[in-house]
Amino acid sequence: MKPPQKQESTQEQSTEKNKDISEYREESKTPTSYQDSEPEGAYLEIIEDPANEEIVDDDPLEKDYDNTLSKPGVSLQIILGPEYAQENSVCYWRIKAVVSGNPAPEIKFSRDDSNGSWGPDIVQVNLSEGQSYTLICDIKNSEGSASSSLTLGWIENKEVPDSGQSQSQQSEQDSLQIDYQDVANFKIDVNLSTQRVTVYYKDSAIKSMVCSGGLPQSPTPIGNFTTYQKIYYAWVAKYNQGAYYWTRFYGSYLIHSVPFDKNGNIISEEYAKLGSPASHGCVRLEVEDAKWLYEVIPLGVSLVIHN
């Protein structure tokens, strides 16, 4: 199972995402402040596709580079979709160009509704009801050129929203006029005794989610914090697992989805631990719950962790 990615609704959100990742990469260059038993967020290797993990060599001068010239090749892969936005009026897909060739080919897509937010090899195509579109990707290098195409279509969203919420929670949320830019009136409560995360707006609970906090040997910190960074996907090489929808609240401690393996599949034995302490210090959620927190709740929100 591969989870859906986040909705990019405005240029401002795209800019903030790029800024967040840029700032994070600067932080991760000097992780020397961590002790021997680092929590799982201590070393996050940010990659867009967990199936294509890059291994970083400490000494690039020791690498044996292959300088053999070769013609380019390309295939298009759906890495997300169908996903939905604007109350299901938009169905969108995210596509990755998997390329080969030396020197590295230049990539050109016929369309990108994310305006380059996902990098040079990933695009997003937004479709309204009844629409379809054939995406074309052309690549070239000094040795030649290649092309690939993929037809995408509108698919109706038949999923029931908020299936994890109780009727009382949904009713409470519907009755509130929630301003999602009103940071001061949101609060995230993490109860390590019950292993639940509850989000409040103006002291009313709008969503409650099962979680997994840290193990006794790698506890989740207790106290008052503020959320300040979001990361879509990160691979933690130290633990040979990745996760989606990270929300940082304190140093190397974050809220994120249950762990995934390098092939992009949920690690079933870790998923089964939801509701009991299981992490290296971070707070784990169901994928859809982590996605909701990541996409809906703004940064700068008060977060309280207690027993």
Q: Does 286 score more than 70 pLDDT?
A: yes
The secondary structure element, H or E, covering residue 78 is strand 70-85
Render pLDDT for 183-210 as a digit per residue (tens, 0 to 9): 999 999 999 999 999 999 988 888 999 9
Domains and CATH numbers, the chain: 11-46+160-306 (2.40.440.10), 72-153 (2.60.40)
Q: What is the predicted pLDDT for the residue at 40?
A: 56
Q: Does 18 score more than 50 pLDDT?
A: no
Lowest mean pLDDT among 41-45, 163-167, 212-216, 292-296: 163-167
**What value does the mean pLDDT take over residues 161-174?**
49
Task: Give dist(CA 141, CA 128) in Å, integer.
Answer: 35
- Amino acid at the residue 133: Y
* Tokens coding 136: 């074309």
- 94 in Cβ contact with 84 (< 8 Å): no
Alpha helices in the chain (DSSP H): 11-28, 167-175, 268-271, 287-296
Render pLDDT for 121-158 as a digit per residue (tens, 0 to 9): 989 898 888 888 999 999 999 999 999 998 888 777 76
* CA-angle at 46, arms to 138 and 190, nearest 5°: 135
Q: Which of 241, 174, 168, 164 lies closest to 210 in space, CA to CA?
A: 164
Q: Does 170 score more than 60 pLDDT?
A: no
- 144 in Cβ contact with 122 (< 8 Å): no
Q: Does 15 score more than 60 pLDDT?
A: no
Task: Give dist(CA 165, CA 245) in Å, integer.
Answer: 19
Q: What is the predicted pLDDT for the residue at 44?
A: 57
pLDDT above 90 covers what percent of the chain? 44
- pLDDT tier at 3, thresholds 50, 70, 90: low
Q: Does 212 score more than 50 pLDDT?
A: yes
pTM (two decimals) = 0.50
Q: Does 247 score more than 90 pLDDT?
A: yes
The pair phi, psi for residue 289, each rounded to 5°, is -70, -45
Render pLDDT for 19-67 as a digit per residue (tens, 0 to 9): 443 444 444 333 333 333 445 555 554 444 444 433 333 333 344 445 7
Q: What is the predicted pLDDT for the residue at 105?
A: 95
Beta bridge partner(s), residue 82: none
The catalytic residue positions are 256, 282
The structure tokens 């402040």 sit at 33
